[in-house]
Amino acid sequence: MCSETVHLPIVKTAVWPDEAATQRFAAALAASPELRNAFIELRGNLGAGKTTLVRHLLRALGVQGRIKSPTYAVVESYELPDLAVWHFDFYRFSDPQEWEDAGFRDIFASPGLKLAEWPDKATGHLPIADLVVQLALQDDTARQVTLTAQTLTGLLLIQDVDSIVPNPTHGQEAISLENLPTQSASRASA
């Protein structure tokens, strides 16, 4: 038994050349047990692919039927046999009172998977995300991706995805460590 200490956040960059690569990432993410209680932020401009990634993820988790973008409702929820999922889009979120009235505080205090597009619009309300997925258009179908693990859960999510799709792209594949003195995570490994 040995223990390893890592310093967070951990940043990984990649290129997804087409939507099939986005789907492969989503399927790998869906297979991670860490998803059972995680908060993932999806960042990027309009049309970057945030909702598309969430749709592939929800499908991979077993959601059937129409998957609506929560742009107008702010949140869509899904009850899977062993997993509750909330998909937020805070683009139109502006009223802090809504945070309490709509029960968002309770949702973030509950176990399950929380996914949030446009988290900047709810700054001050949201807890620290386990994983931040930043998407940027490279061309019509290629997306530059930055994955940032901010907690041990986020780190394990990245590791689990890597173990399934170790080289999901033809592009950059780099892992760099940034040391933040205030945050560290360790886990024992056999």
Ligand X SMILES: Nc1ncnc2c1ncn2[C@@H]1O[C@H](COP(=O)(O)OP(=O)(O)OP(=O)(O)O)[C@@H](O)[C@H]1O
The site for ligand X (CB under 6 A) is made up of 16, 18-19, 22, 44, 46-52, 117, 141, 143
Q: Which of Mg ion, ligand X, none is residue 134 near (CB under 5 to 8 Å by kind)?
A: none
Asked if 150 interacts with Mg ion (CB under 5 A), we say: no
Could you identify the residue written with the tokens 């988790």? 61
Query: Least distance in Å: CB of 121 to Mg ion?
Result: 12
Choose which of 12, 24, 43, 50 interacts with Mg ion (CB under 5 A): 50
Outline where the chain has alpha helix (H): 19-30, 50-61, 96-101, 104-109, 152-164
Residue 86: strand pairing partners = 77, 114
Query: Least distance in Å: CB of 36 to ligand X?
Result: 24
Beta 10-16 vs 143-149: how paired, if at all?
Answer: antiparallel
Query: Least distance in Å: CB of 118 to Mg ion?
Result: 8
Closer of 71 and 183 to ligand X (Cβ): 71
Per the CB < 8 A criterion, the answer to whether 144 and 13 are in contact is: yes
